[in-house]
Amino acid sequence: MTITDVTRSVYLDHAATTPTDSRVVEAMLPYFSEIYGNASSGHRQGQDAGRAVEDARETVARILNCKPAEIIFTSGGTESNNLALRGIVAGNSKNTSRIVSTPIEHDAVLKTLKQLETVYGVQRTLLPVSPEGMVDPEDLAAALSADTALVSIMTANNEVGTIQPIAQLATQAHERGLIFHTDAVQAAGQMPLDVKAMGVDMLTLSAHKFYGPKGVGVLYVREGVDLLPAQTGGSHEEGRRAGTVNTPAVAGLAKALQLVYDEYDERTAHYRHLRDQLIEGVLRCAPNARLTGHPEQRLPGHASFVFDGLDGNVLIMHLDMKGIAASSASACKTGNPEPSSVLLAVGVPYDAAFGGLRLTVGKDTTEADIEYAVSVLAATVEKLYRLQGMYK
Ligand SMILES: Cc1ncc(COP(=O)(O)O)c(C=O)c1O
């Protein structure tokens, strides 16, 4: 193995998306052209499709430890987050007008909050986060007021991998009778997701982050939560999300979720082993690298760094030329010349916040992949620093 081995392909961007598991593809195939009925239709073809959707709902409910009726299928994490926030605001009978969240949420939450504020006057409070990306339950308790309608805090962060103390945070909200939503898109398959143990009222999932298909997700909504549909039309999903259900995608989501939890112990041990190899290797070989996020309370497959004085986008271009797929911040921000707002929120200085690098391992990543990535990264970082020194 050499660092000029450009034919090599090492995918270290599993937080952006994962390849669809071949067993998932197989589970989806019958629902394209064999069992193609509309799951809402009353005839046999429709009933066959409807049964597949309800089987999928039962599988997801069993894994999340909730009732099947509490599962809404959506088009993905973005829609689930929108439905949670907009649905609560629209269904709000108490005339409360504040959502408490964090500055490190995905844009599907942050931009929704911003629009709800500018267009509908719903106030937002964004809690402080520690340098490791943690939210303190006491800060949440202090921020809750009589006008709060909802708390929304992600289970694990996509850019820095930090896992939040969700059960303690949810308790704070519940002590004041408030609803707690969590975006668990990055957490699925990497940590247990039992909605009762977590104590959450709403939870977002997206299948493509756990080896399922793209464009399908889940919003768990606890029975009794007053949610008005954000999208109106047919009475699909018990009137909570209009639109013909994507039967193949839903069948694929359920199969993928079942596989990640059936194989949970092996997969997470594998992730953890490779992640630690990666972190150790990068910090040893690249002297200017700093780990971002929490050193222990982090997703098992997630490694993230800042390189002072380097541009993360330049770095990922160089890595790509050597066959390594990485991310400078979240995938949605690739190519965006703004510094990472998550890194700024955790206190990384403005200039350094351009130098983020995220490397996320998956079930098919190998030790040899990590060795290759570390050696390429070390050589690339050294070259970029040398070049910058020359041009100063
Ligand atoms: C934390 C988080 N929430 C939401 C999303 C959006 O999910 P989707 O791509 O399914 O719309 C992502 C995707 O990157 C994410 O990382």
Boundary residue ending a domain (217, 233, 262): 262
Which residues does 164 contact at the CB level (< 8 Å), separation at least 6?
134, 135, 153, 154, 155, 156, 157, 182
**Rounded distance from Cα 238 to ligand 1 centre (Å):** 24
Q: Which two structure tokens, joined as six digits, stand for 308? A: 């002072």
Indicate whether 235 and 316 sit together in one domain: no
At residue 218, the 3 state secondary structure works out as strand
Indicate whether 230 and 331 sit together in one domain: no
Is residue 278 a part of any domain in this protein?
yes
DSSP, res 293: S
Percentage with pLDDT > 70 across the chain: 95
Per the CB < 8 A criterion, the answer to whether 100 and 242 are in contact is no
Which H or E run includes 259?
helix 247-262
- Candidate from 162, 185, 253 with most ligand 1 atoms within 8 A of CB, to mutate: 185
pLDDT band at 91 (very low <50, low <70, confident <90, very high): confident
Q: Which two structure tokens, joined as six digits, stand for 83? A: 């439905």
Position 286 scores a pLDDT of 87
Query: Does residue 149 surpass a pLDDT of 80?
Result: yes
* pLDDT digit string, tens, across residues 363-385: 999 999 999 999 999 999 999 98
Indicate whether 316 and 348 sit together in one domain: yes
In the chain, count H helices and then E strands: 14, 12
**Rounded distance from Cα 80 to ligand 1 centre (Å):** 9
Q: How far apart are the first and last CA of the chain?
A: 34
* pLDDT digit string, tens, across residues 339-363: 999 999 999 999 899 999 999 999 9
**Rounded distance from Cα 181 to ligand 1 centre (Å):** 15
Which residues does 293 contact at the CB level (< 8 Å), separation at least 6?
132, 133, 157, 159, 160, 161, 162, 302, 304, 346
Protein residue with least CA distance to atom 8, ligand 1: 77
> Which candidate, 222, 191, 205, 185, places its Cα nearest to that of 105?
185
Query: Does residue 2 surpass a pLDDT of 80?
Result: no
Q: How many domains does the chain have?
A: 2
- Position of tokens 């009933």? 47
Indicate whether 70 and 164 sit together in one domain: yes
Paired with 182 in beta bridges are: 203
> Which candidate, 392, 70, 123, 77, places its Cα nearest to that of 238?
70
Paired with 125 in beta bridges are: 100
**Distance of alpha carbon 66 from alpha carbon 77, whole angstroms:** 19
Range of the domain at 71: 23-262
DSSP secondary structure string, 134-158? PPPHHHHHHH--TTEEEEE--SB-T
Indicate whether 270 and 162 sit together in one domain: no
Is residue 277 a part of any domain in this protein?
yes
Position 391 scores a pLDDT of 39
**Rounded distance from Cα 13 to ligand 1 centre (Å):** 13
Is residue 349 a part of any domain in this protein?
yes
Position 389 scores a pLDDT of 73
Assess whether 332 carries a catalytic annotation.
Answer: yes
**Distance of alpha carbon 286 from alpha carbon 213, whole angstroms:** 36
Paired with 203 in beta bridges are: 182, 220
Indicate whether 293 and 249 sit together in one domain: no
Boundary residue ending a domain (237, 262, 287): 262
Q: For the chain, what is the mean pLDDT?
A: 94
CATH classification at residue 81: 3.40.640.10
DSSP secondary structure string, 106-123? -HHHHHHHHHHHHHH--E
Indicate whether 140 and 195 sit together in one domain: yes
Position 332 scores a pLDDT of 46
CATH classification at residue 369: 3.90.1150.10
Ligand 1 atom showing the smallest separation from residue 208 Cα: 10
pLDDT band at 184 (very low <50, low <70, confident <90, very high): very high
C-alpha dist (Å) from residue 158 to 224, 266, 297, 356? 30, 22, 13, 12
Is residue 145 a part of any domain in this protein?
yes
- Candidate from 206, 218, 219, 327 with most ligand 1 atoms within 8 A of CB, to mutate: 206
Indicate whether 150 and 70 sit together in one domain: yes
Paired with 100 in beta bridges are: 125, 151
**Rounded distance from Cα 247 to ligand 1 centre (Å):** 21
Per the CB < 8 A criterion, the answer to whether 170 and 177 are in contact is no
**Distance of alpha carbon 286 from alpha carbon 77, whole angstroms:** 34
Q: Which two structure tokens, joined as six digits, stand for 56? A: 């999928």
Boundary residue ending a domain (262, 292, 319): 262
Query: Does residue 93 surpass a pLDDT of 80?
Result: no
DSSP, res 42: S
Catalytic position from the list 285, 314, 332, 384: 332
Protein residue with least CA distance to atom 14, ligand 1: 16
Query: Does residue 390 surpass a pLDDT of 50?
Result: no
What mean pLDDT do residues 54-58 have? 98
Number of residues assigned to the chain: 392
Indicate whether 66 and 214 sit together in one domain: yes
Q: Which two structure tokens, joined as six digits, stand for 75? A: 């088009």
Indicate whether 170 and 291 sit together in one domain: no
Query: Does residue 333 surpass a pLDDT of 70?
Result: no
Per the CB < 8 A criterion, the answer to whether 241 and 229 are in contact is yes
Who lines ligand 1 at CB under 6 A? 76-78, 81, 106, 108, 154, 158, 183, 185-186, 206, 217, 330-331
Indicate whether 250 and 281 sit together in one domain: no
Indicate whether 340 and 245 sit together in one domain: no
Position 21 scores a pLDDT of 98
Is residue 5 a part of any domain in this protein?
no
Per the CB < 8 A criterion, the answer to whether 274 and 234 are in contact is no
**Distance of alpha carbon 84 from alpha carbon 81, whole angstroms:** 5
Ligand 1 atom showing the smallest separation from residue 16 Cα: 14
Query: Does residue 132 surpass a pLDDT of 50?
Result: yes
